[in-house]
A and B are shown apart, each in its own frame.
Chain A
């Protein structure tokens, strides 16, 4: 079978779905952030595949920016997890109900 663009887009869809399942099913805050990074990687794969299919460099520029934003978001998200852990001594999102009571 010929390796077309659709294969890369389908693989990106599968990786994105696994990321969505990770965000919805896991209870550890750090693993939820890992699943968000997986979703961003899936989108990056889509962008690079489309960029290489049409010879447009803007796709890879956008991938560059998405990676930078993902790095910034991972750093701040992990800092928030550390700050919450210092108060609640847990990273289980079921037990972090700070707004209640």
Chain B
């Protein structure tokens, strides 16, 4: 009962934050609604017993990526909030396409094609996917991918510094 209530609470918060991000005219407001969505999704990870991912979500997404977004929005100093755009046929087509994507995804979820294995009890799953197991898997089975991620982050850092310099030399 408590699990269902918590899931619906955080699900409503996540969707409300996403809609707020979509509708806000001011980009700072969009970024702040996104922070609310990220916190709600982190709490959803905690209801799923994924403690490591939940904390990493708050540290990395809400704590680093969104701060970077807010830095850039404030740095560019975009001036007054833009006017509400006119609703032309292109936005209508985009909305229809979005609804089509949602319908496709929900049909796939609802069909429950019997290709997935049986779910296992939550306690066993929580023990098999604890932070200890994640650390073990990262350093043994996925060690190569971990090193590649390090190289990727280095490349992104160098690229971002070069792209944002005044003289691109």
The docked-state distance in angstroms from the alpha carbon of A76 to that of B56 is 21
**Interfacial residues, chain A to chain B (CB-CB below 8 A):** 1, 3, 5-11, 13-22, 24-28, 30-31, 33-35, 37-38, 41, 44-45, 48-49, 51-61, 63-65, 67-76, 78-83, 85-86, 91-92
The docked-state distance in angstroms from the alpha carbon of A22 to that of B37 is 14
Contact of A57 among B112, B128, B160 (CB under 8 A): B128
The docked-state distance in angstroms from the alpha carbon of A10 to that of B14 is 13
Number of contacting residues on B, CB 8 A? 81
Given contacts A6-B112, A41-B41, A91-B78, contact A52 B122 (CB under 8 A): yes
21 contacts across the A-B interface (CB closer than 8 A)? A15-B41, A24-B94, A38-B34, A49-B48, A52-B122, A54-B119, A54-B125, A55-B128, A57-B128, A59-B129, A67-B60, A67-B61, A68-B60, A69-B152, A71-B153, A71-B156, A72-B156, A75-B68, A83-B163, A83-B164, A83-B168
Asked if B22 is at the interface (CB within 8 A of a chain A CB), the reply is yes
Contact of A17 among B41, B91, B105, B138 (CB under 8 A): B105
**Distance from B42 Cβ to chain A, minimum over Cβ atoms (Å):** 10
**Interfacial residues, chain B to chain A (CB-CB below 8 A):** 3-4, 7, 11, 14-15, 18-19, 21-22, 27, 30-31, 34, 37-38, 41, 44-45, 48-50, 52-53, 56-57, 60-61, 64-65, 68-69, 72-73, 75-76, 78, 82, 85, 91, 94-95, 97-99, 101-102, 105-106, 109-110, 112, 116-117, 119-120, 122, 124-126, 128-129, 133-134, 137-138, 142, 145, 149, 152-153, 155-157, 159-161, 163-164, 166, 168
